[in-house]
């Protein structure tokens, strides 16, 4: 259906005269007549009765009018959904429970007028492809490709280094520790059934395990985080890693322990990834907000995988 003709019909119905509708639409009365005639031909009914005093809706015109208004409202909403500055900013987070979702909530508290559409894609490769194609505006991910740069026109900036904690039940032999040096975990089993091969978080924990001599065990079905908590709470040997700012709730009887890690403190490197030609004004506001909130990585006392470390400066010629 020709929505221009539908808009002309609604304008004429509201005005009661083709001449007044023509003035409102900045076209000629003849153009109004032609558009209405074409719409009537498409519908197979008369919408107006022309009189000396103007144009009066027929019974069919009266029946069609509310649906015509709904069509125009749908058209306006459809256009607004993709209009820069009007559509929601679509951002991917690794999980709604994760701390980066909290970064996004903090941004929305300071920019409540910004509409957000939060999605959770599977892994960084999927998320980066979605950024490149324009399916999403940005993603929070660990960038694991030092030798394989991001696609042309896609950029990343560090936004948050999140310390890890060891998570144990009350019967674990480290449960009473105020903090734990990473060297104390050598030879121990860290159970993480959600560590799927090929994901950025598996790459992080694989290098952490190789560097400090611990075992990250991904064996067993992943029944979700609640089931993981139940198993950890009842075990004297199993432990897992959780991020410092990941909000967790568990039954009081579990008596679970979150123990900071030190010497060095392992941190998970979150980055924001976006397309450089994306004109959405809320994306600029989000980047500025995160840049102001990120204090930068300290010089020592932390551990990050090799792919998250800044490249050394190029040697000076001569």
Kindly report, residue by residue over 217-250, the tens digit of the pLDDT: 998 888 888 899 999 999 999 999 999 988 888 8
- Is the pLDDT at 147 greater than 60? The verdict is no
The more confidently predicted of residues 161 and 97 is 161
Instruction: Give domain 3-82's CATH architecture.
Output: Orthogonal Bundle (1.10)
Are 206 and 197 a contacting pair, CB within 8 Å?
Answer: no
What percentage of residues in the chain have a pLDDT greater than 70?
94
CATH 3.40.190.290 fits 89-306, yes or no: yes
What pLDDT is stored for residue 84 in this prediction?
A: 61
What are the residue ranges spanned by the domains of the chain? Answer: 3-82, 89-306
The more confidently predicted of residues 91 and 52 is 91
Work out the pLDDT band at 263, boundaries 50, 70, 90.
very high
What pLDDT is stored for residue 77 in this prediction?
A: 80
> Which tens digit of pLDDT belongs to each residue from 104-137?
999 999 999 898 999 999 888 899 999 999 999 9
What pLDDT is stored for residue 145 in this prediction?
A: 66
The more confidently predicted of residues 31 and 250 is 31
What percentage of residues in the chain have a pLDDT greater than 90?
67
What pLDDT is stored for residue 316 in this prediction?
A: 58
Q: What is the pTM of this model?
A: 0.71
Same CATH fold, 89-306 and 3-82? no
What pLDDT is stored for residue 7 in this prediction?
A: 94
- Is the pLDDT at 56 greater than 80? The verdict is yes
């Amino acid at each position: 259906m020709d929505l221009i003709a539908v808009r002309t019909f609604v304008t004429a119905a509201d005005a009661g005269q083709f001449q007044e509708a023509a003035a409102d639409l900045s076209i000629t009365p003849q153009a109004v007549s032609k558009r209405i005639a074409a719409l009537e031909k498409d519908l197979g009914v008369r919408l107006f009765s022309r009189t000396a005093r103007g144009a009066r809706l027929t019974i069919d015109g009266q029946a069609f009018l509310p649906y015509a208004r709904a069509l125009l409202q749908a058209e306006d909403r459809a256009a607004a959904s993709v209009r820069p500055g009007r559509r929601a900013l679509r951002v991917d987070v690794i999980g709604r429970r994760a701390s980066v979702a909290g970064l996004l909530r903090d941004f929305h508290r300071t920019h409540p007028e910004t509409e957000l559409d939060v999605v959770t894609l599977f892994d960084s490769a999927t998320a980066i492809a979605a950024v490149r194609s324009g399916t999403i505006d940005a993603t929070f991910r660990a960038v694991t490709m030092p030798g394989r740069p991001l696609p042309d026109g896609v950029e990343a900036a560090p936004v948050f280094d999140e310390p890890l904690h060891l998570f144990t039940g009350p019967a674990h032999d480290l449960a009473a520790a105020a903090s734990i040096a990473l060297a104390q975990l050598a030879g121990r089993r860290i159970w993480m059934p959600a560590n799927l091969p090929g994901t950025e978080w598996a790459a992080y924990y694989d290098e952490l395990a190789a560097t400090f001599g611990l075992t990250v065990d991904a064996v067993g079905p992943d029944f979700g985080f609640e089931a993981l908590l139940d198993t950890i709470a009842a075990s004297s040997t199993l432990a897992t890693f959780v991020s410092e700012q990941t909000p967790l709730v568990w039954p009081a009887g579990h008596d679970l322990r979150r123990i900071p890690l030190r010497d060095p403190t392992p941190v998970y490197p979150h980055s924001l990834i976006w397309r450089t030609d994306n004109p959405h004004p809320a994306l600029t506001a989000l980047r500025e907000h995160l840049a102001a909130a990120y204090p930068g990585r300290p010089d020592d006392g932390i551990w990050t995988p090799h792919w998250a470390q800044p490249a050394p400066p190029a040697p000076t010629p001569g």
